[in-house]
Amino acid sequence: MKVSQGAPGAKILAFGHYQPSKVVTNDDLSKTMETSDEWIRSRVGIQERRIAETESEIDLAVQAGGKALAASGLPASDVDLVIVATCTMETQIPNAAGRVATRLGIDAPGALDVNTACSGFCYALAVANDAIRAGSATNVLVIGTERFSPWIDWTDRSTAVIFADGAGAAVVGPSDTPGIGPVVWGSAGDKAEAIMVKDRHSFLQQEGQTVFRWATTALHPVARQACERAGVDPAELAAFVPHQANVRIIEAIARRIGADNAVVAKDIVLAGNTSAASIPMALSRMIERGEVPSGGLALLLGFGAGLTYAGQVVEIP
């Protein structure tokens, strides 16, 4: 039996992101539930979020994926694998990836969805990296896309003030040197019920304090291990881009990893928690604003429902 030979490494060629147009501010939410701008900012750090009124997860993914493809300079015909990370699809069959690929003009690629919720992009990126190095794919389009608005009880301030809609994408291609470090991933299934949708007729439920304690105590060692496996000192990082769950969680982890020179992503302030979309969307916007250098190193850290986590160091395109 022969074994296929892939590229020595893989790297991210470009990012893209997309947010729906409807803005929902904290003041808007205060009109429909017992909350306030000050209450929301002090607990999660969010000022506003975007909601898709008519667009689906597929629509959001196509927009972000198309922008990433355009920025990469690759024609759609060069992509042979599409991976979509999402946990908010209205239906599970057919999957998102195949439909997104067709909409983008990508002909007959491998197409799969990944559902590890908020860590989904990091899981999908690891799969893309391994596929390219193993020779299973040449160029991969990785997309995180979420439409939480239909899964939220808009009278429940424990979830309605947090979650939002959006998509972020990256094109990953072969490289002579590693541009994506080894992934550190895992799960805490004993806490799986801390974030869940019980059935197709239920809304998202979250035990906020359980998630907060877990995230602020268990995840900084994962971040440091991702740096160690990549052979990178945290002081060398140009950016730290964790899942955009809560500003207090982001700041707590950032303090404990020693990345003193890194720009810390806080896209949640204006985007809310977009689960699998949050990391690629945050880094895409940081690149667009010129906040991080091309060729610099960024530590990505996804975590959330499952409970699952994954992190890796990447070279910024």
Active site residues: 118, 243, 273
- Whole-angstrom Cα distance, residue 312 to residue 223? 8
Question: Which amino acid type is present at position 101?
Answer: A
Around Cβ 148, how many Cβ atoms within 10 Å?
25
- Whole-angstrom Cα distance, residue 132 to residue 159? 38
**250 close to 256: Cβ distance less than 8 angstroms:** no
**313 close to 181: Cβ distance less than 8 angstroms:** yes
**250 close to 212: Cβ distance less than 8 angstroms:** no
- Exposed/middle/buried for 190, CB within 10 Å: 0-12, 13-18, 19+? exposed
